[in-house]
Amino acid sequence: MAGKIPPHFIDQLLSRVDIVDLIHSRLALKKAGKEFQACCPFHDEKTPSFTVSREKQFYHCFGCGAHGTAIGFLMEYDNIGFVEAVEELATLAHLEVPREGGEHEGPDVRPLYETLDRAAHYYQNQLRIHPEAQRAVNYLKGRGVSGKIAAEFRIGFAPPGFHNLIDHTNPEEFDRLLQTGMIAESEDGKRYDRFRDRIIFPIRNHRGLVIGFGGRLLGEGKAKYLNSPETPLFQKGKELYGLHEARKSLRQLDRLLVVEGYMDVVALAQYGIRYGVATLGTATTEAHLDRIFRTVSEVIFCFDGDRAGRVAGWKALETSLPSMRDGREIRFLFLPEGEDPDTYVRSRGAEDLEQRIAEATPLSTFFFDTLTREVDMSSLGGRAQLAERAQPLLRKLPTSIFKRMMYQRLSKSVGIELESTASHTAKPLKPVTRSQPALDTMPPVRRAIALLVSNPGFSRIADLPKGWEALAIPGITLLRELLELLHTQPNITSAGLLERWRHKEEGRHLGKLAAMMLPLPTENQETEFVDTLMLLTQQALQFEWDNLVAKAELGNLSEGEKQRLGELSRLKAERDSNETSMDSH
């Protein structure tokens, strides 16, 4: 198990990473006053309501309510866990994530990454030194792969034999080899190397860490290609081979070409086409598309032009429909029958393939061409069949201009008007604006917490009102804990406070309160905070006075309580007198 990441490191990390720079590396932010805005990446919208505050180091969408810190953004946008998001930010900030004993954040997968990285080094080294490796070298040279590209993709060689990796690995790493699928187990309990007599292609995640392997068989056998099994690090339905290398090699990555095999990606890179990625032995999934569209706005699916390729292309189209928001483009490239990107680029060159990519078929064209080929468009029955087949698919499209245009084209093809739900949708969401009255109507405890989370420096105000801490109402404990933390660690930012409470029930409420404060003017907020604490103090005194008066009526007051009731009565009289004096003016 992994030791807990110390809170002070989270504070340090958030102070080193600028959330605006982080989000701008993934979204095109535009300055809007003192904040930055973009269309929200977490829901469909036309008018930007996604706001990022450099001052607060916090983001909030006034359309869908998404909000959080730099850590939260990475978790949501990159679909990763808390620890991985922290490690990602730490890498950007050139910091090493420390660990401490006690509580645990979950399984510590770092040793698994280290084991796979050592395995990748082992395979790379075998490609250079093993006597049997010449067959692998000859194969790669025959496919036009240079030493530079082989090194960039960390291509290696798994020698023949059942225990090469096992014998090379330290005994203490044996369990980790099992966990990562590098060792397989037969029905009779015998354990052996999963990859044998294969060219090895390490699979890396978006951070460049090895999460699994693919292997291309060199000798005789049934499985020509073999992938690592599902493990804590590797889920083939989510990963794309070559995505890390594409992002690393291109400063501006505008599109991705989805192909079917490792060698396709490597061959494309060898010929300078650096935006190729491959699914890992599975059809394209919605998780793949989610990852693709978090990286680029355009994707081209590349298939063989035979019947099987067309079927695979149609399946990719159906999977893609729910992801077709406005601003995204999906196209399909079908190569001549019997060709794949590897053979095509080697025989005809990169320029020819790039031209084909540029002329790839748009999703809308592939959609209607495929469906109209299956019906008789010269008859009413055929056109009715088209509508019957097309409409269930079009309903999968998210509400968008593209969806309306697809329905318009279908209407034109069948000869009658067909309406989509998109034609009856409400107007695009506009940024929600809030004014001071919205703050005034909040209960005092919530108002104090919201002001403090948004302005941690308020904890350093001299002579803050006291006495409110005794109130037995919801939120008082949280307000007290926030101030106690800030008194001991006065440099914590708003983002740091939110992360301290991330794993607690109150964390969700803190995020919402911070989001409510984001668009409000900061003038007079300090006075508002002090006045709110004073109001809570007065409430506490009133509750105490009421309780003592009720007890006095029963004749149960101690001498100390009688003295306290007298003090409170004098304070109450002074306050009432001051209020009367102010009203007279």
- pLDDT tens, position by position, for the chain (585 residues)? 456 888 889 998 998 899 999 998 888 899 988 899 999 988 888 889 999 999 889 999 998 889 999 999 999 888 778 888 998 898 888 888 887 765 545 567 889 999 999 999 999 999 999 999 999 999 999 999 999 999 999 999 999 999 999 999 888 889 999 999 999 988 888 999 999 999 999 999 877 899 999 999 997 777 889 999 999 899 999 899 999 999 888 878 889 999 999 999 999 999 999 999 999 888 999 989 988 988 888 999 999 888 899 999 999 999 999 999 888 999 999 999 989 999 999 999 999 999 999 999 999 999 999 999 999 999 999 999 999 999 999 999 998 899 999 999 999 999 888 876 444 443 333 333 434 545 568 889 999 999 999 999 999 998 899 889 888 888 999 999 999 999 998 888 899 999 999 888 888 888 888 888 877 777 788 999 999 998 998 888 888 778 778 878 787 778 887 888 877 777 777 666 655 555 555
Residue 428: CB partners within 8 Å, gap ≥ 6? 45, 46, 47
Note the pLDDT of residue 26. Answer: 84
Q: Which two tokens stand for residue 134?
A: 């010449």
Query: How far apart are the C-alpha atoms of 304 and 241, rounded to whole Å?
Result: 19
Q: What is the CA angle 502-507-512, rounded to 5?
A: 125
Specify the CATH number of the domain 250-367. Answer: 3.40.1360.10
Query: How far apart are the C-alpha atoms of 486 and 479, rounded to whole Å?
Result: 11
Name the CATH superfamily housing domain 436-584.
DNAb Helicase; Chain A (1.10.860.10)
Query: How far apart are the C-alpha atoms of 113 and 231, rounded to whole Å?
Result: 12
DSSP code of 466? -
Note the pLDDT of residue 424. Answer: 41
Note the pLDDT of residue 509. Answer: 84
| H helix count then E strand count, the chain | 25, 18
Instruction: Decide: helix, strand or coil at residue 510.
Output: helix
Could you confirm whether domain 374-424 is CATH 1.20.50? yes
User: Same fold for the domain at 110-227 and the one at 374-424?
Assistant: no
Query: How far apart are the C-alpha atoms of 61 and 48, rounded to whole Å?
Result: 9
Residue identified by tokens 């792969």 is: 145
Note the pLDDT of residue 83. Answer: 86
Query: How far apart are the C-alpha atoms of 221 and 441, rounded to whole Å?
Result: 73
Q: Which two tokens stand for residue 568?
A: 């409170």
3-state secondary structure 121-132: HHHHHHHHHCHH
517, 36 in Cβ contact below 8 A?
Answer: no
CATH of 3-104, one of 2.30.330.10, 3.90.580.10, 3.40.50.620, 3.40.50.720: 3.90.580.10
Specify the CATH number of the domain 110-227. Answer: 3.90.980.10
Residue ranges per structural domain of the chain: 3-104, 110-227, 250-367, 374-424, 436-584
Residue identified by tokens 């966990």 is: 179
Query: How far apart are the C-alpha atoms of 557 and 550, rounded to whole Å?
Result: 10
